Structure 1
Amino acid sequence: MTKRAYNFNAGPAALPLEVLERAQKEFVDYQNTGMSIMEMSHRGAVYEKVHSEAQDRLLSLLGNPEGYKVLFLQGGASTQFAMIPMNLLAEGQTASFVATGSWASKALSEAKLVGDTTVVASSEADKYMKLPDLSQLDLPANTAYVHVTSNETIEGVQFTEFPDTGDIPLVVDMSSDILSRPLDMSKFDMIYAGAQKNLGPSGVTVIIAKEELITESPKHIPSIFRYSTHTKNNSLYNTPPAFSIYMVNEVLKWIQEKGGLEGIQRENEAKATLIYDAIDNSNGFYKGAAELESRSIMNVTFRLASEELEKAFVKASEEAGFIGLKGHRSVGGLRASIYNAVPYESCNALVEFMKEFQSKNG
């Protein structure tokens, strides 16, 4: 095949080449059925096996925690911003939020439409470039749940530790760093993630939650928005995004082949170190956007001396085969999203390009 692009898109993002090639072989005829997985009934045995495999494989990668259920839903993390308070925030309670950037702010805005909210920690004063300390959260007595965004793709900050919220459910949006490192699931009551960064293609949203949190939902909300509906029906209440779930299962197999979450973490840290070192050793030509202790290993954000120079960088990078290095329009700058499937070789090529660009423009 022709040379693949150096894909640093923030999402939809790079998928493992091995997974794409496997899917290509099975695309028209899945396991000698004479059909694509997209053409099958979601009630049939062939698809249901894929569905169950993906759920079991995901829990296996997380250490098979007891009492947790996997749901495959639709609508992205943005729908979860509304579903979570609709299901978990009762009258007389408040949802406690940690405000760390663009995505946390969107989750907070949706929850405000449903019920009472409070911000218990924020890094807004630092322009969301430094994470707040969560070790001593002062939670209201009527807190229904605490919401944290583990990794902010736009600002490029990421939590390495999570708060102990005791008996209060901890809900975490892990859309951009799920399965990028080992997780102790006992710390979390619910994590959710759009698949299109680390899990597979867009179209499916993954929920991993304690069963008691999702088995009883308020009866006044529409059935399709109740977690209990999807729990009772094993995420088959309505037609699921079958191909996306099939791809998630294949990506999970790939993660297992890479040595599980420990192997993935080693590769991710090596990629991030490579690029951050190039930034930090550039004598100020490149400047990291996020504070050192808050830096993400998924989204490397950095700046140049002027917007004109940044535009020149993006233009030159695209001509050299690099995709997705322009920062989000809300903050500007530059960003390299180096999710699980972005190979080390692509990151090394980016570093070489950065050095070359500096030599010509420094």
Structure 2
Amino acid sequence: MKVHNFNSGPSILPRTVMEQASQAILDFNGTGLSILEIGHRTTHFQDVLQEAISSVKQLMDLSDDHEVLFLHGGATTQFMQVPMNLLDEKATAAYHVNGIWGKKAATEAALFGNVTVVADSSDQQNTYIGKDFTVPASASYLHITSNNTVEGTQWHQFPETEVPLVADMSSDIFCRPADYKRFGLIYAGAQKNMGAAGVNMVVVRKDLLGKVSRKIPTIMDYQKHIDAGSLMNTPPVFAVYVSMLTLRWILQEGGLTEMERRNKAKSDLLYQTIDSLPLYRAQVVKSDRSLMNAVFFLNDPSLETAFLDLCKKENMIGVKGYRTVGGIRVSMYNALPLSSVEAICDLMKDFAIKHG
């Protein structure tokens, strides 16, 4: 049975990654042990971790100025860990809020210091990326959410700023090339474009650390994790392994340039279909539409249940919009094949003929 996986996360993984991960559960690299059984301080796992770190640096073209960490927890943990490490109690951080996750991040940061919200798109239901804003020169950093999974918006050109730029890239990490060296810190939960749920990647510029006066709990201190090589405590071994396999797959498939080419082809096809059929509407302004998460609505809301029922019948999974937004959401992460987008576009056309 062919299933089209449009889940927003945890989401689709490359078939080869799942096959290799499945085999490793039974026998990891001919050791006779499962990946679930190997010690995290053995050379077996250290080789996995080092390949994952090296792949991130290669894909992002990073120098030794940045460190790569694989840590417990999802991106939500970073809502507190970032300000804990970078924001002094009497200092101010700038937050750019374009949706639910940016708002949550700003709320958590306010527990550790002052927060200035420099832009907030809630006046138009977060259907655009606010670009006319000023960042205080004294700010410790500017935090953005590079892609808004819930609302379907994405930064296509990152803001220029004199202060360190911090980004939650959970839902568009490794979907395209960018000048990643510009960022002071990047964090991302793995479960959308980089692997299995349970691990979160942090890329941090080392010179930003050690500048806050507060005492940081050991397990929350980035510098301590750097010193321990992401092995301060037992890491989520299997999730790191799946991330390593996924990163390897990205490199083998042609890297970020090829991911961007595929992602643009998928998103262009879907948005063209939405725009060409009067039954549907996408509320996000065209210049800010996400390559990863397309959010749209039926102009006749009474037809939504029938549309979702048809998707279910045709094995199209995960298309119901987020509970606070509603509508339809089609997530198109790296591993989603173009054929799945073609299938849902055909379904949309057929549905429009019958109900338009």
| TM-score (norm: length of structure 2) | 0.97
Residues 1:240 and 2:238 aligned together = no
* 8 A contact 1:215–1:232 mirrored in 2: no
* 8 A contact 1:215–1:227 mirrored in 2: no
Partner AA of 1:355 in structure 2 = K
* 8 A contact 2:188–2:202 mirrored in 1: yes
1:158 corresponds to: 154
Q: What's the offset of the Cα at 1:65?
A: 3.0
2:226 corresponds to: 231
* 8 A contact 1:13–1:197 mirrored in 2: yes
Query: Measured at CA, do residues 219 and 115 of structure 1 come closer, stay the same or move farther in structure 2, by a change above 3 Å?
Result: closer
1:357 corresponds to: 351
Q: What's the offset of the Cα at 1:27?
A: 2.1
Aligned with 2:286 (options 274, 278, 292): 292
Q: What's the offset of the Cα at 1:216?
A: 6.2
Partner AA of 1:322 in structure 2 = M
1:180 corresponds to: 175
CA distance in structure 1 between the partners assigned to 2:62 and 2:92 by the alignment = 31
CA distance in structure 1 between the partners assigned to 2:306 and 2:209 by the alignment = 49
Residues 1:322 and 2:316 aligned together = yes
1:76 corresponds to: 74
Residues 1:147 and 2:108 aligned together = no
1:34 corresponds to: 32
Q: What's the offset of the Cα at 1:71?
A: 0.4
2:127 corresponds to: 129
CA distance in structure 2 between the partners assigned to 1:76 and 1:354 by the alignment = 34
Q: What's the offset of the Cα at 1:269?
A: 0.2
SS in 2 for 1:30: coil
- Give a deviation string over 1:255-290, Cα, whole Å, max 9, x none: 1121100001000000000100100111x2110121
* 8 A contact 2:86–2:211 mirrored in 1: no
CA distance in structure 1 between the partners assigned to 2:299 and 2:135 by the alignment = 41
* 8 A contact 2:79–2:104 mirrored in 1: yes
Query: Measured at CA, do residues 92 and 218 of structure 1 come closer, stay the same or move farther in structure 2, by a change above 3 Å?
Result: closer
Q: What's the offset of the Cα at 1:127?
A: 1.4
State how 1:83-232 maps to structure 2 within 5 Å: 83-134=81-132, 137-166=133-162, 168-214=163-209, 220-232=215-227
Q: What's the offset of the Cα at 1:148?
A: 0.4
* 8 A contact 2:148–2:154 mirrored in 1: yes
1:261 corresponds to: 256
SS in 1 for 2:271: helix
Query: Measured at CA, do residues 186 and 276 of structure 1 come closer, stay the same or move farther in structure 2, by a change above 3 Å?
Result: same
Q: What's the offset of the Cα at 1:184?
A: 0.7
SS in 1 for 2:215: coil
- RMSD of Structure 2 on Structure 1 (CA): 1.3
- Give a deviation string over 1:9-57, Cα, whole Å, max 9, x none: 0000100111111222222111111111111110111110101110001
- Give a deviation string over 1:310-349, Cα, whole Å, max 9, x none: 1211111011100000000001010000011111111111
Residues 1:54 and 2:48 aligned together = no
- Give a deviation string over 1:214-248, Cα, whole Å, max 9, x none: 46665522111111121110110010001111111
CA distance in structure 2 between the partners assigned to 1:91 and 1:104 by the alignment = 20
SS in 2 for 1:302: strand
Partner AA of 2:27 in structure 1 = D
SS in 1 for 2:119: strand
SS in 1 for 2:26: coil
5+ long unaligned stretches in structure 1: none
Q: What's the offset of the Cα at 1:156?
A: 0.2
2:11 corresponds to: 13
Q: What's the offset of the Cα at 1:108?
A: 0.8
* 8 A contact 2:85–2:222 mirrored in 1: yes
5+ long unaligned stretches in structure 2: none
CA distance in structure 2 between the partners assigned to 1:326 and 1:196 by the alignment = 18
* 8 A contact 2:88–2:214 mirrored in 1: no
Kindly, what percent of the aligned residue pairs are identical? 42
Partner AA of 1:106 in structure 2 = K
SS in 1 for 2:88: coil
Count of aligned pairs: 356
* 8 A contact 2:72–2:199 mirrored in 1: yes
Query: Measured at CA, do residues 74 and 50 of structure 1 come closer, stay the same or move farther in structure 2, by a change above 3 Å?
Result: same
- Give a deviation string over 1:176-205, Cα, whole Å, max 9, x none: 001000021222111100000000010000
* 8 A contact 2:85–2:210 mirrored in 1: no
| Deviant stretches of 4+, over 4 Å | 215-219
CA distance in structure 1 between the partners assigned to 2:79 and 2:2 by the alignment = 35
* 8 A contact 1:268–1:297 mirrored in 2: yes
Partner AA of 2:304 in structure 1 = E
SS in 1 for 2:105: helix
Query: Measured at CA, do residues 206 and 217 of structure 1 come closer, stay the same or move farther in structure 2, by a change above 3 Å?
Result: farther
